[in-house]
Amino acid sequence: MSTSIQSSPTDKLVVEDPMTPYTKKWVRRFLYFAFLNFIIAGALALFMRTDQAGSASDIGPLGTAQVFGQLLTAHGLGMFVGWQFPFTYGLVMFIFPKYMKRKLYNEKLLPIIFTLFFAGFYMVWLSTALGFGPGWYFLFPLPFQAGPVGGIIPWGDMQALLFFAGMIIANSSLFVFAYEVFATAYSSKYKDDYNNKPGMNTSMSAKFAGSIGFTSYMPKLVRTRILNYPPAVVAAVVTTIDMIISAPPFTVLLADGALVSMHDPGFLNNLIAKNFLWINYHPIVYFAFFPLIGMYYTLIPIFSKRSFSSERWLYAAWPLLLISAVGVYSHHLFLDTSQPYILQLTAQNMSMLVSFGSGISVFTLMALIWRSKYEYSLSAKFLVASIFGWVIGGIMGTEQGNAAFDIYLHNTYTVVSHFHFNGLDGIILAAFGVFYYILPEISGKQWYSKTLGEIHFWTTCIGGFGLAFDFAAMGYLGVGRRQFQPINSLLPFTITLNYQLYLDLALFFALFVAAAQIPFLWNLHRTLTGPTVKIEATPASLEELRIPVAAPAPIVHAVNARSSLNEVGSVGGAVPNSAGIGLSSTNSMPRQKEID
Amino acid sequence: MHPFLALNPAQLGFGIGFLEDLFIVGTLITIVAFIALFFSTRRPDAIDKHSLAKYEKHWTIMLVVIFAVFSISTFSLLPYPYAHSNVVPTMTVDVQAQQFSWCLSPQGTWGGSNCIAPYQIPVGSTVLFVVRSLDVTHGFGVYNSAGAILFQVQVMPNFTNSILYQFTKPGTYYVRCLEFCGYGHYLMFTNFVVTNATS
C-alpha cells in the first residue's frame, strides 16, 4: 500500500513516511499539555480530599466551602476536558499516520487546534480561579445564581461569561479536529488501498462502513469486498463522530449561557439545557477511552503475539458503542420525572447496550491474552490493569444505568467511584501505557529508567484502585457527592461518624496517586533531556512484528518495508491468523530487532 | 409483595444492600478472572480458534440475557408516579427547595408560612412527594435514621417532579440535598417524622 497524497492536480507529492516530523512535534505537544493538565487537576483533587478529611486548616487558605466548590469545578473540568481533549487530539493524530499509513490531511491545522484549545481551556480555569464554581457539569441556572455564602455572592456574571466564552473557544477546536479526522479518513485524494484496491468496494458508503466496524453486521458476500480500517482508526473515527453529533446542542447551550451572562433572558428552559449538557457530557467520557480501546486492539495482539479469532469480533462492538455512547445520555436525568418517559427507557436500554459492547470487547481482549506468551512489559501491564478498572467500573455503571436502582445511587459516591474506576483506573492507566509505548517513537528519546516506570505503575495502581474502592464503600453507605463537609456537626446523622474512616482513606490514597506521579515526571524529564537516539518504530500490527530481522525494519525510513508488507497481504492493521510467535522481550520500549 | 405492586426495588428486597452485594460479587469474580488470566500466560499454548469463536458466541448470548433481564425486570419498579397509575397516594406533600433550605408543606400550599418542620407522616402512608425549586436545581434525597438512602428525586426550577414512597416504619427521616446547588450545598438538610398514628 504505497502512501501518497495528491495535494493538487498538478502537485503530486509522494510522502515517504506519513508520520512526519511536524506531526510528531504536535503529537508530543498535545500529549505533554494533556499530562500537564492532568498533574494540575490531580493536585486540585488532593486539596478537595484534604478538605473533606477535615485537615483543611493544615494547609492555610484552603478549607472553605467556596474554595472547595472552586476546586471541584476546576478538577472535574481539568480531567474531563483539560486532560482528555489534548490527549485524544494527540493520540488520534498519531493513530492515522501510524496505523492507516496516511499523512494527516492538513497537518497545518494542528497548531490551530492546539491554540484554540489552550486559550479556551485556560480561560475556563481562570474563571474558576476567580470564584466560578457551579461544578464541572453546570446545571442551569446555577451558573447565574450562585447563592450567598456568608453574605457574599461568590461569583458573578463576569466569571460566568469568562467560563462560557472559554468553553466555546475550547470546543471550537473540536470542529477543526473533526475536519482533520474525517478528511484524513475519507478523502479520495489518498492513493492507497482504501481508495483504489482492485476488486474492493471503495465507495464512500463502503469506506464509512469500514471505518466504524459496521462490516461485522453485513453478509459475507458484501463485507469481504470492503476494507476494514485498522481498529485504532475505527475507534478514532467513532469517538469523533460521537463528539461531533453531540457538539451542536452543547454549543447552543454554551451560547445561551454566554447570553444569560450578558443579562439576556436566554432561550433554553432548564430541562432542555440539562439535556443539551448531558448529550455532550456523556460522550465526553468516551472521547479518550474509545481511541484507547482501539489501542488495546492494536497493542494486545502484539504483546500476546496472537491474532484475533476473527475480524467480525474485532469490529462488532464499535457500531454498538457508536450508537449507545450518545443515546445513553438520558440516564443522567433518570431522577427528573419531567423528562419524557421514552427517553428514560431508551437510556436504560442504551446503558445495557454500552455494557454489552464493553463485555464483548473485554472478553475478546482477555481471550487473546489467555494462555498466550503475553509480554508483561510496562505498557502491557498498564493496559491489563486498565482493563481491570474498566470491568469493575462497568459493573458499577451497569447498576447506575438502571433507573429503578438509580434512586439509591444517583449523586452518591458510587458515581464518583464509577468514574474513578473508569477514568483514573481505566482511561488514565491505559493512557500511561500507550504513552510509555509511543513516546520514544515520537520523541527520538529512549526512556531514562524502566525502574521508575515500574514504581509509577504500581503506586498509581495502588492509589488509584484504593481510592475508587474507598469511594465505592462511601457510596453504598449513601454519602452524597460534592459535600464540603460530609460530616457536619449541624447534621443530626449519627451514622455520618462512620464516614471519617473513608474520608481519611480517600486522602491517603489520593496522596499515593500524587506521589506516584513524581517518578513519572522525573523519568519524563530525564528522558526528554537525554540524548536523541535512533529509535525503531513500534510495529503497527502483528504482521509487522513478524518481519524477519533481515528485512527492512518498519521504522523512519520504512516506506519500502511497509510497501513490501502490504504486498504480502497486510490489510490496514487487521491481523488475520496464527497463534503467535516466540518473542522474548520484556522491554516496554519500542522493539529492537529481536524477532526470532 | 407482588412484584407488580412494588413501588421500588427495596420493597422486593433489592435495595442498596443488594447493589452493594452485587458489586462485591462482581468484583471478586473479576479479580479471580484476572488472576487466572495471569497464571494462564505462564502455560502458553496455541489457541483453538474454532473453540474460541464458539465461546465468544456463548458469551455474547449470556451477556444479552443478563442485561435484558436486568433491564426488563425493573420496568415495573421505576419510582415515577406515572409508572404506577393504579396507585392512589394516601397523602401528597409539597416540597419546595431554595438555596439552601427545604420546606415541606401540605398539598397545594407551597412554602412560606405553610412550612411544617418537622413534617408528620402517619406510618403506612403511601406519599406522593411533589417537588419544585425556587432557584436552582437541587436533589431531594431521603435517608432513614440509620443513614441509609431510601430514595431521591431531582428538584428543578420551572418544572415539577414527583416520586412515590410508602413508609412502613416510624421514626425520623432526614432530607439532604443531593445535587450541587452552590457553596452552601452541604448545609441543606431537614427532617420529617413518620409517626405511629395510622394513615
pLDDT, one tens digit per residue, over B94-136 is 999 999 999 999 998 988 889 998 999 999 999 999 999 999 9
Residue B2 lies in a domain: no
Q: Does B41 sit within 8 Å of A352, measured CB to CB?
A: no
Give ipTM to 2 decimals.
0.95
Residue B4 lies in a domain: no
Q: Which pLDDT score, from 0 to 100, does residue A546 have?
A: 63
Both B104 and B141 in one domain: the answer is: yes
Asked if A288 and A84 count as a contact pair (C-beta separation under 8 A), the reply is yes
Q: Which pLDDT score, from 0 to 100, does residue A495 have?
A: 56
Confidence of residue A53 (pLDDT cuts 50, 70, 90): confident
Q: Does B70 sit within 8 Å of A480, measured CB to CB?
A: no
Continuous H helices in A19-108: 21-52, 65-77, 84-95
Q: Does A352 sit within 8 Å of B60, measured CB to CB?
A: no
Among B99, B114, B107, CA closest to B128 = B107
Q: List, as ranges, residues 253-292 from A with C-beta within 8 Å of B.
A: 269-271, 274
Of B19, B82, B176, the CB nearest to A480: B176
Alpha-carbon span A383 to B75, nearest angstrom: 37
Residue B70: list chain A partners with CB under 8 A: 352, 398, 402
Q: Does B56 sit within 8 Å of A313, measured CB to CB?
A: yes
Lowest mean pLDDT among A513-517, A568-572, B161-165: A568-572
Q: Which pLDDT score, from 0 to 100, does residue A574 have?
A: 32
Minimal C-alpha gap between A373 and chain B (Å): 5
Q: Which pLDDT score, from 0 to 100, does residue A595 have?
A: 27
Which comes out higher in pLDDT, residue A53 or A416?
A416
- Per residue in A54-90, pLDDT tens? 755 555 446 788 889 999 999 999 999 999 999 999 9
Contact of A197 with chain B, judged by CB distance below 8 Å, is answered with no
Q: What are phi and psi of B129, to 5 degrees?
A: -90, 120
Q: Does A476 sit within 8 Å of B82, measured CB to CB?
A: no
Which comes out higher in pLDDT, residue A311 or A401?
A401
Both B52 and B18 in one domain: the answer is: yes
Both B99 and B35 in one domain: the answer is: no
Domain with B110, as residue range(s), is 81-198
Q: CB-hemisphere CA count at 13 Å for B55?
A: 13
This prediction's pTM: 0.89
Contacts of A160 (CB under 8 A, 6+ apart): A127, A132, A143, A144, A257, A260, A261
- Report CA-CA distances (Å) from A496 to A210, A412, A479, B129, B171: 54, 14, 8, 25, 18
Alpha-carbon span A223 to A220, nearest angstrom: 5
Q: Which pLDDT score, from 0 to 100, does residue B75 have?
A: 84
B-chain residue closest to A413, CA distance:
B178
Both B169 and B98 in one domain: the answer is: yes
Domain boundary among B42, B77, B112: B77
Alpha-carbon span A454 to A432, nearest angstrom: 12
Handedness of CA A258, A325, B34, A374 (dihedral sign): negative
Asked if A124 and A170 count as a contact pair (C-beta separation under 8 A), the reply is yes
- Per residue in A396-416, pLDDT tens? 999 999 999 999 999 999 999
Residue A405: list chain B partners with CB under 8 A: 9, 14, 19, 74
Contact of A495 with chain B, judged by CB distance below 8 Å, is answered with yes
Which one of A260, A360, A408 would you mutate to disrupt binding with B, by most B Cβ within 10 Å of its Cβ? A408
- Per residue in A425-466, pLDDT tens? 999 999 999 999 999 999 999 999 999 999 999 999 999 999
Domain boundary among B38, B53, B77: B77
Lowest mean pLDDT among A193-197, A550-554, B65-69, B138-142: A550-554
Confidence of residue A550 (pLDDT cuts 50, 70, 90): very low
Q: Which pLDDT score, from 0 to 100, does residue A52 have?
A: 82
Both B62 and B143 in one domain: the answer is: no
Which one of A267, A320, A381, A405 would you mutate to disrupt binding with B, by most B Cβ within 10 Å of its Cβ? A405
Q: What value does the mean pLDDT take over residues A549-575? A: 33
- Report CA-CA distances (Å) from A475 to A406, A408, A486, A503, B177: 12, 9, 12, 12, 15
Asked if A428 and A382 count as a contact pair (C-beta separation under 8 A), the reply is no
User: How are beta strands B126-133 and B161-166 bridged, if at all?
Assistant: antiparallel
Q: List, as ranges, residues 50-89 from A with C-beta within 8 Å of B.
A: 65-66, 68-69, 72
Q: Which pLDDT score, from 0 to 100, does residue B53 have?
A: 81
Q: What value does the mean pLDDT take over residues B169-195? A: 93
Is residue A1 predicted with pLDDT exceeding 90? no
Domain boundary among B61, B77, B93: B77
Q: Which pLDDT score, from 0 to 100, does residue A557 have?
A: 34
Q: Does A478 sit within 8 Å of B16, measured CB to CB?
A: yes
A528: cell is 526528554
Which comes out higher in pLDDT, residue B113 or A420?
A420
Alpha-carbon span A42 to A414, nearest angstrom: 20
Both B67 and B105 in one domain: the answer is: no
Both B54 and B102 in one domain: the answer is: no
Residue B136 lies in a domain: yes
Of A359, A367, A372, the CB nearest to B41: A372
Both B139 and B181 in one domain: the answer is: yes
- Per residue in A477-500, pLDDT tens? 989 998 887 776 666 655 566 788
Place of cell 451542536: A248
Q: What value does the mean pLDDT take over residues A357-386? A: 93
Q: Does B162 sit within 8 Å of A134, measured CB to CB?
A: no
Q: List, as ranges, residues 398-417 from A with C-beta within 8 Å of B.
A: 398-399, 402-405, 407-412, 414
Residue B191 lies in a domain: yes
Q: What value does the mean pLDDT take over residues A566-572? A: 30
Both B172 and B97 in one domain: the answer is: yes
Q: Does B37 sit within 8 Å of A366, measured CB to CB?
A: yes
Q: Does B53 sit within 8 Å of A309, measured CB to CB?
A: yes
Both B58 and B95 in one domain: the answer is: no
Q: A339: how many CB neighbours lie within 10 A of its CB? A: 22
Q: Does A313 sit within 8 Å of B179, measured CB to CB?
A: no
Q: Does B40 sit within 8 Å of A271, measured CB to CB?
A: no
Q: What is the CATH number of the domain that holds B126?
A: 2.60.40.420
Among A213, A214, A217, A216, CA closest to A234 = A213
Asked if A39 and A78 count as a contact pair (C-beta separation under 8 A), the reply is no
B-chain residue closest to A52, CA distance:
B186
Contact of A593 with chain B, judged by CB distance below 8 Å, is answered with no
Residue B41 lies in a domain: yes
- Mean pLDDT, chain A, integer: 86
Q: Does A66 sit within 8 Å of B156, measured CB to CB?
A: no
Q: What are phi and psi of A431, to 5 degrees?
A: -65, -40
Q: What value does the mean pLDDT take over residues B36-49? A: 89
Minimal C-alpha gap between B132 and chain A (Å): 11
Of A146, A337, A348, the CB nearest to B162: A337
- Dihedral, CA of residue A401, residue A402, residue A407 and residue A408, to nearest 10: -80
Of all residues in chain A, the percent with pLDDT exceeding 70 is: 86
Asked if A415 and A421 count as a contact pair (C-beta separation under 8 A), the reply is no
Residue A480: list chain B partners with CB under 8 A: 139, 141, 176-178
Both B13 and B43 in one domain: the answer is: yes
Q: CB-hemisphere CA count at 13 Å for A77?
A: 30
Residue B3 lies in a domain: no
Place of cell 467520557: A285
Of B19, B136, B141, the CB nearest to A145: B136
Residue B147 lies in a domain: yes
B28: cell is 471478586
A-chain residue closest to B36, CA distance:
A370
Q: List, as ranges, residues 523-552 from A with C-beta within 8 Å of B.
A: none
Among A460, A296, A457, CA closest to A378 = A457
Residue B80: list chain A partners with CB under 8 A: 337, 341, 344
Q: Which residues pair with B154 in a beta bridge?
A: B139
A-chain residue closest to B188, CA distance:
A491
- Report CA-CA distances (Å) from A455 to A193, A349, A458, A459, A521: 43, 41, 5, 6, 12
Alpha-carbon span A509 to A462, nearest angstrom: 8
Q: What value does the mean pLDDT take over residues A261-283? A: 94
Residue B193 lies in a domain: yes
At residue A481, the 3 state secondary structure works out as: coil
Q: Which pLDDT score, from 0 to 100, does residue A556 have?
A: 33
Q: Does A410 sit within 8 Å of B158, measured CB to CB?
A: no
Both B18 and B116 in one domain: the answer is: no
Q: How many residues does chain B have?
A: 199
Q: What are phi and psi of A434, to 5 degrees?
A: -70, -40
Q: Does A134 sit within 8 Å of B180, measured CB to CB?
A: yes
Asked if A423 and A396 count as a contact pair (C-beta separation under 8 A), the reply is no
Q: What value does the mean pLDDT take over residues B164-193? A: 93
Of A135, A345, A359, the CB nearest to B63: A359
Instruction: Return the H-helix or E-strand segment holding A383.
Output: helix A378-400
Number of domains in chain B: 2
Confidence of residue B198 (pLDDT cuts 50, 70, 90): low
Place of cell 481562570: A126
**∠ CA A28-A29-A34, rounded to 5°:** 100
Q: What value does the mean pLDDT take over residues A308-326? A: 85
Q: Which pLDDT score, from 0 to 100, does residue A571 have?
A: 29
Q: Which residues pair with B104 in a beta bridge?
A: B95
Highest mean pLDDT among A14-18, A310-314, A553-557: A310-314
